[in-house]
Structure 1
């Protein structure tokens, strides 16, 4: 979709702030800059806006892509960072010669482990923070224990195993933002509220959508209010109960299925060192050759006009079309 009058300035402001951090030395050559996912979380913008901000810095030569790592600050005096070690963007202390020091957030968490007794809440909160920053694959009992500054065995007094930890992480995520105490009147309004809350939850915690199973539903207490909310919205409107449940699951699966792309894109960027725009540029010659055959005129016109995928826009468009379909099922006019 075209860049509108609000998103472009926001990407410019984000780029300006990152440019300031680089100039001030808060982000030194070789440091990893915030990823697109971290930018969306910190500034509350769409993924496309975050991508534009990083692309602007990359075109200026201030940052560069490193396969398997992500985007790091370039070293203008040494061929855009050639030979420089890569550090995490959260690291702000002096650079030790042997290896980078732990990130400040990690150091703070480790120091705080001695401030009070270890609790299930602290274990879960730490695990969620690791998953939010690095993905679910980075979460292990050993990693969480290291972040807390305790032995791995100490965690087992609070969680049975990693599967139990994941269930508690999911419950914590679902419980962050409860549904409104006073539901709106219409079924469509109620389902819209629930779907948007789920979408926001999956955006804040990209690991949550892939972890949530539709075919093997996990016993997550915090998720049950969403099910009850949707069933109550559709019950008593002429549909049998199995159809009501199927409509609810279709809605959840749509939101979850769209959100899975957030985590997948983050992993792809980390592995390739290329963001969406850079990857698309590498595919340009092959796509151009296909379009030159004239076999795909509609796609050719779209490509010429320009189209920018925005997951938030895609989510909202699909949500309204899905609700239109439920309206037809209920015998209403969408």
Structure 2
């Protein structure tokens, strides 16, 4: 007999920890990046570890957290109908003493049955990316989650790029554009509202910032509608069409560029179990040594100022206001 494949050996080790109660329902299991670091394996192998555990029904994705130990189902036993035997007798399709009931399929665990349509394929891909990041999502992983052969996915999407396009379009379609008009509310209020809407989307879907590109964009119609909406908000001030387009894209690109940090923060928290504040606490000694050197007096004053409140949300808001301040003389001259 050949050697046990590494992914099966690692998955068996995690399964044993779950069976022993070392990992309880709701506890995070090692992420793919952590598996790579701990075992020196490739991303494809780490992905197969998680997929194997999911196929066994031991783990499940939880958006914003990662992959966690699944909560076991405990169905209540029901009495068989008289025609199928009395107490102590198992009728057809029922589990009696010493006899296991039918094993749930992957589709049963997902709460769906039958072949998936494109909408379900895309929703499932979004759920995987929300929980574990875009780097984990592959056609093979998606097929395993749906309980179907990998090649069957290509009936719904032509490949990873088109899948990502549909995922983006689905996410952008989930929120209606602001019901504001520049004539009534002013261009700045309108642009602020859309920028904050985009920020909330990136917050809910940390992978989205990695998917959005302004140099080689995926042409998602509902994402393009955001650019058109911002251009309408800025229109009517004498800007040439190319300047109008650049202004709209600049605002969107600022929000997206700041949001790139969100997935990195979420991944780091999953891998270390530390929030940003907790991680920073572990760095206080080193930070004190650096700032205490006297080479960074202005940073020292800022960091030790009790009024300092620094997080990615405040960073986004501060930059957004300064960006709109810069557009004001251009639009109102």
Shorter-chain TM-score tier = 0.5 to 0.7
> Pick from 142, 161, 164: which aligns with 1:163?
161
The residue aligned with 2:261 is 261
Change (3 A) 1:32 1:323: farther
Cα distance, 1:284 vs. partner?
Answer: 2.0
CA distance in 1, matches of 2:281, 2:167: 37
Any idea what the Cα deviations from partners look like across 1:76-101, whole Å, max 9, x if unmatched? xxxxxxxxxx975352228xxxxxxx
The residue aligned with 2:324 is 323
The residue aligned with 1:224 is 224
Is 1:313 paired with 2:293?
Answer: no
Cα distance, 1:29 vs. partner?
Answer: 4.7
- 2:34 partner SS: coil
Cα distance, 1:108 vs. partner?
Answer: 6.6
| Greater Rg by CA | 2
CA distance in 2, matches of 1:160, 1:110: 27
Q: How does 1:240-251 map to 2 (within 5 A)?
A: 240-251=240-251
The residue aligned with 1:68 is 34
> Pick from 58, 70, 91: which aligns with 2:70?
91
Q: Supply the RMSD in Å over aligned alpha carbons.
A: 2.7
CA distance in 2, matches of 1:109, 1:165: 24
Is 1:30 paired with 2:31?
Answer: no
- 2:155 partner SS: coil
Q: How many residues align?
A: 247
Q: What TM-score does the superposition give when structure 1 sets the normalisation length?
A: 0.67
Check the 8 A contact 1:145/1:152 in 2, yes or no. yes
CA distance in 2, matches of 1:311, 1:111: 34
Which runs of no fewer than 5 residues in structure 1 stay unpaired?
1-27, 36-66, 70-85, 95-105
Q: What TM-score does the superposition give when structure 2 sets the normalisation length?
A: 0.67
CA distance in 2, matches of 1:243, 1:308: 35
The residue aligned with 2:297 is 297
The residue aligned with 1:64 is none
Check the 8 A contact 1:113/1:149 in 2, yes or no. no
CA distance in 2, matches of 1:318, 1:289: 30
Which runs of no fewer than 5 residues in structure 2 stay unpaired?
1-20, 36-57, 60-66, 74-104
Cα distance, 1:120 vs. partner?
Answer: 0.4
Task: Tell which has more relative contact order, 1 or 2 (C-alpha 8 A, sep 6+).
Answer: 1
Q: How does 1:1-334 map to 2 (within 5 A)?
A: 29-31=22-24, 68=34, 88-93=67-72, 110-114=109-113, 116-181=114-179, 183-184=181-182, 185=184, 186-306=186-306, 307-331=308-332
